[in-house]
Amino acid sequence: MAPSPDRQTFREVLAGLAAKTLTRIPALNGRVEKACKLVLGGDVELHPDGTALVGSLTDPTRAYQVTGSPAKCQCQDYDHAPEHLCAHRLSVGFLRKVQELLPPAVESTPEVHPVSTSTLPEAPASVNVRLQVAGREVQWTLRDTDEARLAVRLEALLQRYPVPQASSPAPSQPLTQQQHNAAAMHKLVTGFCAVHNVQMIENEKNGQRWFSHRLPEGGFCKGR
């Protein structure tokens, strides 16, 4: 895939700087090519304070600081390169010069489409209904062009989510003669709930005993 126009211009300007540098200092041959690879590979990081961080071409875990004016590099080749122009220092200079020569990139403004504020036409027939779906209360809106067809759809929806029926209370057990006598004397009847007038069941847990019965809406009553 061909590079974009901006990328192509970037490469052309960088190539021009590299050629001028080699014309001025032919002994930099090899270091200039490495510097171009660092720039094109995105391994040169310019900092606002004038310093730079340049990655190594041979060791992906290493990077070199280029600082000061004139710039100095931490690499071993800095002391041996002509005019101390190692590949790292050259790459920093190339990138700064390319950024000076290229026009600033113009960010395109996304096209904004106005949202239509016109209201949708009212449906000829509509109905709202609250339903219990998976234990959650949901408001369902049905719309149609015909009331008769809407009624059929509503009936099908109601059949799909029927109203949950309350559980019937447990049938009351007949009182024993002893319980009848205690109730007639307005005494507490063991195992009988005077609140709901039903027989309770004796329960035992961890050495404790008590009487209770289940309520239609859920939960238990101990007759109090």
Domain assignments of the chain as residue spans, ordered by start? 5-101, 125-160, 177-221
- In a 10 Å sphere around its CB, with 0-12 CB exposed, 13-18 middle and 19+ buried, how is residue 23 labelled? exposed
pTM above 0.75, yes or no: no
Q: What residues pair up with 144 in beta bridges, in sequence order?
A: 125
Q: What is the pLDDT of residues 57-96, one digit of tens each?
A: 888 889 999 998 888 999 999 999 999 999 999 999 999 9
Nearest to residue 90, comparing CAs of 26, 44, 58?
A: 44
Residue 15 has pLDDT above 80, yes or no: yes
Residue 46 has pLDDT above 60, yes or no: yes
Residue 1 has pLDDT above 50, yes or no: no
Q: What is the pLDDT of residues 174-208, one digit of tens each?
A: 556 666 666 566 555 567 777 777 778 888 888 88
From start to end of 51-135, where are the E strands? 52-55, 63-67, 72-73, 125-133
d(CA 5, CA 145): 56
d(CA 199, CA 223): 10
